[in-house]
Structure 1
C-alpha cells in the first residue's frame, strides 16, 4: 500500500547561487559523501530529500543530515535513513522507499514513493 508520494524540482544554477550566498548551508543539507559530488548531483540529492520529506508528510523536526542518497554498484539510487528520518519512516510503517532521480538541462527532478 502506498503511504506517501513526493516530488521536487531544483534549478541547478539557483541552488548553486543559494549555497554561495549562505556559507555553511551546504554542510547542513548534504552529507560528506554528497558534498563530494558534482553540483548537478548535489542539487539532485537535495531534491530527493525534499521529495522524501513530502512523502513522509513534511513533519517538522526532521534533520537533513539524517538522510543520505546513495547509489548501488548498478547505479540505482536509494536512501540511508537514520535518526529523525528513520523514526518517521518507522512511525508510518514504511517498508520500502522508491526513488527516481534525473538531472538535465539545468534542472534536477526527483520522485519518491513510500510503501507500507
Structure 2
C-alpha cells in the first residue's frame, strides 16, 4: 500500500548560487559522500530529500543527513534513512522507500514513493 508520495523540482543554476553564497549550506544538506557529486547531481539529491520530506508529511526536526542518497552498482539511487527520518518512516509503517532522480535542461527533479 502507498503510504506517501512526494515530488520536487530544483533550478540547478539557482541552487548553485545558493550553495556558493551560503557558507556551510552544502555541509548542512549533504553527507560528505554526497557533497562530492557535481552540481546537477546535488540539486537532484536535494529535490529527493525535499520530496521525501513531503511524502513523510514534513516531519518537524528532520535532519538532512538522516536521508542520504547512495547509488547501487547499477547506478540506481536508493535512500539510506536513519535517525529522525527513520523514526517518522516507522511511525507511518513505511517498509520501502522508492526514489527516482532526473536532471536535464537546467532542472533537477525527484519523485519519492513510500510503501508499507
Runs of 4+ in 1 over 4 A off after TM superposition: none
Equivalent residues in 2 for 1:77-92 (5 A)? Answer: 77-92=77-92
Q: CA deviation at 1:75?
A: 1.1
In structure 2, what is the Cα distance between the partners aligned to 1:60 and 1:21? 26
Q: CA deviation at 1:72?
A: 0.5
Question: For structure 2, which runs of at least 5 residues remain unmatched after alignment?
Answer: none
Aligned position for 2:93: 93
Question: For structure 1, which runs of at least 5 residues remain unmatched after alignment?
Answer: none
| TM-score normalised by structure 1 residue count | 0.98
In structure 1, what is the Cα distance between the partners aligned to 2:59 and 2:102? 25
Q: Deviations over 1:12-68 (max 9, x none)?
A: 000000111110011000110110000110111111000000000011111001110
Aligned residue-pair number? 116
Question: Cα RMSD over matched residues?
Answer: 0.6
